[in-house]
Amino acid sequence: MATGRRWRLAGAVAALVLLLAAAGGALWWFLGDRTAPMVNPAPPQLTAAAELPSHASTIVVPMTTSLDLIEAELNRAVPATLWQIDQREARCIPGQRVTICPVPKRECVNGKCRKVGCKFGLQRTKVTPDIACRIVGNARRGPIRLSGSGETLMLHMPVRATVQVRDLGGVIRQETATGAADVRARVRLDLKRDWSPTARVEIDYGWTKAPGIDVLGRRIRFTDKADAKLAPVIAGLERQLPGILSRLHLRSELDALWRQGFTSIELNRDKPPAWMRVTPQRMGFGGYRVQGRTLELTLAAEALTETFIGDRPSDPAATALPAGAGRIGDRGLRFFIPVLADYAQLEPVVERALTKLARKGVSLRGSGRSTPSSAR
């Protein structure tokens, strides 16, 4: 058995000698005999400009704003008094009409007769005149509130209407009616290609207390008068909302962020210094979400990224904010980072690594660990 192991060990040593000879003495030089010449020369260094692949990287990140800011703009933009009314109404109380028919007109078929009109008498004859009045009033809104969840943004605006009936046919000098309405709106936001905001508003409202008074045993309701005034106010809210949102200066903020993206980011300070140069290509809007009191806009940017080992590269020239590109990529990061290294910066790093390796020694299978005679 000992003889067999010696033969196997001798065979391994012989194979190692042949391998060293085939390598031209390179490994032997590294292990300590540095007087032997290196047969294989160092690889040539290329001096031509590097051609880096131009794969695009994407980053999808949120941009947030507070619903409190949008509420404040809405309350500044929408006047407290929504409408006012002061008009003469000719028929506040319509005249009473009666039908008196002592001799009805009859129609008989197969011995069965029925009334089909009035043969002689008065039919829907006005017995009292229309009573005119003057209607004076206004509607004021309460504080506008925003809420929502997910892609649903809700607007709530309470309205209080006050209507006075004056000079009611000399019967009543003045009577006041009050009413309350609840205006509700479902708002869907979007951004145009020029980054200006848009809003689709589905508005509904209902009177929680319809304005009206009782006069001479009759109920006079003013919901139709209030509706006629409230309808254009609500329609105007849909037209005003994009302008109100534009006061948040979203486009100017996006433009500033876009220009800041043309930069070089330090990845490592020294040993070796490393930089990533970023050149934005396009940006898109990927939707929004309402979370609590925060409106989160999802923005996606696509950029060329390059990594430089060595001195800080020059920043790329910034361009103007391009038109919106729609949805780009999924949430998160996706980077393609080609690396351009300076030999002068890499050589000390490689030398330190080889020196550590030399001090630690090299483990050769079948021969154990070998330690070079000297290391630098």
The per-residue pLDDT for range 77-102, each reduced to its tens digit, is: 888 998 888 888 777 776 666 667 76
Nearest to 11 by CA among 367, 361, 363, 369: 367
Amino acid symbol at 262? F
Looking at 190, 218, 246, the residue that finishes a domain is 246
pLDDT at 49: 61
Whether 95 maps to a domain, the answer reads: yes
pLDDT at 243: 80
Range of the domain at 269: 56-65+251-360
Mean pLDDT, the chain, rounded, equals 75
Residues 127 and 144 in one domain: yes
Residues 147 and 133 in one domain: yes
- What's the pLDDT band for 16 if we cut at 50, 70, 90? very low
Instruction: Quote the CA–CA distance of 244 and 143 in Å, as a whole number.
Output: 16
Residues 225 and 289 in one domain: no
Instruction: Quote the CA–CA distance of 181 and 141 in Å, as a whole number.
Output: 9
Instruction: Quote the CA–CA distance of 174 and 159 in Å, as a whole number.
Output: 23
Residues 241 and 94 in one domain: yes
pLDDT reading at 322 higher than 70:
yes
Q: pLDDT higher for 326 or 216?
A: 326
- What's the pLDDT band for 39 if we cut at 50, 70, 90? low
pLDDT above 90 as % of the chain: 7
Whether 308 maps to a domain, the answer reads: yes
Residues 89 and 100 in one domain: yes
Whether 307 maps to a domain, the answer reads: yes
Residues 218 and 129 in one domain: yes
Please enumerate in sequence order all residues whose Cβ is within 8 A of that of 297, keeping only pairs 6 or more positions apart, or say none: 62, 63, 64, 65, 250, 285, 287, 288
pLDDT at 40: 60
Q: State the angle between helix axes of 223-246 and 250-260 in degrees (0 to 180), rounded to the nearest 10.
A: 20
What does the DSSP 8-state code read for residue 281? Answer: E
The per-residue pLDDT for range 209-261, each reduced to its tens digit, is: 888 777 666 676 777 777 777 778 777 777 778 888 787 788 888 888 889 88
Residues 160 and 105 in one domain: yes
Nearest to 139 by CA among 89, 204, 209: 209
Give the number of domains in the chain.
2
Whether 345 maps to a domain, the answer reads: yes
Whether 2 maps to a domain, the answer reads: no
Stated length of the chain: 376
Residues 239 and 345 in one domain: no
pLDDT at 164: 83
Looking at 246, 280, 306, the residue that finishes a domain is 246
H/E element, 192 = none
The per-residue pLDDT for range 343-356, each reduced to its tens digit, is: 676 677 777 777 88
End-to-end CA distance of the chain: 43
Are the C-beta atoms of residues 212 and 180 closer than 8 Å to each other? Answer: no
pLDDT at 33: 47
Whether 334 maps to a domain, the answer reads: yes
* Strand segments (E) across 70-196: 81-93, 97-109, 112-126, 131-141, 145-149, 152-168, 172-191
- What's the pLDDT band for 34 if we cut at 50, 70, 90? very low
- What's the pLDDT band for 368 if we cut at 50, 70, 90? low
Amino acid symbol at 209? K
- What's the pLDDT band for 202 if we cut at 50, 70, 90? confident
Domain of 242, CATH number, reads 3.15.10
Residues 172 and 264 in one domain: no
Instruction: Quote the CA–CA distance of 74 and 66 in Å, as a whole number.
Output: 13
Extract the tokens encoding 329. Answer: 């990529």
Whether 49 maps to a domain, the answer reads: no
Amino acid symbol at 4? G
What does the DSSP 8-state code read for residue 367? Answer: T
Looking at 197, 219, 246, the residue that finishes a domain is 246
- Strands 332-334, 368-370: pairing is unpaired
Residues 232 and 276 in one domain: no
Residues 217 and 314 in one domain: no
The per-residue pLDDT for range 113-168, each reduced to its tens digit, is: 787 777 666 666 665 677 778 888 888 999 999 999 888 899 999 998 888 888 77
pLDDT at 294: 92
Whether 356 maps to a domain, the answer reads: yes
C-alpha distance from residue 306 to each of 57, 59, 266, 271 (Å): 10, 15, 12, 19
Residues 224 and 266 in one domain: no
The per-residue pLDDT for range 175-200, each reduced to its tens digit, is: 788 888 888 888 888 888 888 888 88
Sequence-distant contacts of 254-257: CB under 8 A, at least 24 apart:
254/195, 254/283, 254/299, 254/321, 255/320, 255/321
pLDDT at 9: 35
